[in-house]
Amino acid sequence: MSFNTILTSQENNAFIITINRENKLNALNRETLQEIKSAVLSVQDNKSVRGIIITGSGLKAFAAGADISEFASYSIQQGAQLSADGHSVMNTIENSAIPVIAAINGYSLGGGCELAMACHIRIAAENAKFGQPEVNLGLPPGYAGTQRLVQLIGKGKALELLLTTDFINATQALELGMVSKIVTLEQLLPTCLEMVDVFSTKSLSAIASVIKCVNDHFKSTTPGFETEISEFGKAFQTEDFIEGTLAFSEKRKPNF
C-alpha cells in the first residue's frame, strides 16, 4: 500500500505511521486523515503487528491541527461532512483491536490533539504542547475533541482549555492524565517500541477485548458526538469563521 502524506514502516511487532507534512507542521488534510485510517485498517488482520505507533515527522509537531487552508470556503454541509469523516477516522483508531500509541513529538493542536486522544495511549516528548484552538477560528472542535477531552480530563478542565484555547505543556498534560509518560525526544520512539514489545507478550484476543470493553464504557453516554458534527457544520456560514480563517492565513489575530 502506498501513501502520499504518511510514511509507514514495521519494526519488529510495531507498525509505525508517520505523518509526513513537516513544512505544514503535519497539519491533517483530508488525504492524510484517510491515509491514516487506511493504514490502521490495513494491519488489523496482520498477526505480526502487536502495536501501532502514530507520530509526526520532524522535531516540532505531532500534528498542528486540521489543515485550515483546505476548508476556508466550505458550506455548512461540507463542514458537517468534514467533521463526520474526521469522526470516522478517530473511531477507526479508537476501535482498533491492536493498541494504538500516539508518540507526541511537539505541537498536538486541534485535530492533532483529537488524533492523539483517539489513540489508546499517549506518550509525550518533553517539547509536546496540547491545545484546542478552534474557537480562534470561529469553530468548535470537529474531530470529537469536545467529547474525548471531557472523557480524558473531566468537564471543568476540558471546558477551560476549549474556551480559553490555552496550550498546556507535557508536564501539565501528565498531571491531567492526558498522557501516560514524558520522555526525551530521543527516547520517544524507543519508549513506544518497548511498550509494543510488552503488548507482544500478552494475549492478542484479551487485549482486543479490553479495548472493546473500555470503549463501550462511554458509548451510552455520548450523544455529544452527533451534536459536535452538527455544530461544526453550522459554524461554516458564520462571519466569525470567515474572519477566523482569514486571520490565520494573514498571520494576524482575529477581530471577533
Sign for the CA dihedral angle at 231, 233, 237, 243 comes to positive
- Phi, psi of 6, deg, nearest 5: -130, 160
Interaction of residue 145 with ligand COA, rule CB under 6 A: no
Q: Which position among 35, 94, 114, 231 bears the catalytic label?
A: 114
Interaction of residue 102 with ligand COA, rule CB under 6 A: no
* Complete edge-to-edge strand list for the sheet that includes strand 61-63: 61-63, 107-109, 129-131, 168-169
* Complete edge-to-edge strand list for the sheet that includes strand 14-19: 6-11, 14-19, 51-56, 100-104, 121-125, 181-183
List binders of ligand COA among 60-79 (CB under 6 A).
64-69
Our CB check for ligand COA shows the closer of 27 and 189 to be: 27
Compute the least distance from the CB of residue 62 to ligand COA, in Å.
11
Interaction of residue 94 with ligand COA, rule CB under 6 A: no
Find the binder of ligand COA among 51, 56, 110, 233 (CB under 6 A).
110
Backbone Cα Rg of the chain: 17
Find the binder of ligand COA among 15, 62, 74, 107 (CB under 6 A).
107
Find the binder of ligand COA among 111, 138, 140, 254 (CB under 6 A).
111
Cα dihedral 179→181→184→187 (10° resolution): -110
- Residue 22: active-site member: no
Per-residue binding letters, 15-54, with ligand COA (x by CB under 6 A): ---------xx-x---------------------------
Give catalytic residues, as residue numbers.
114, 134
* Binding positions for ligand COA, rule: CB under 6 A: 24-25, 27, 64-69, 107, 109-111, 133-134, 137
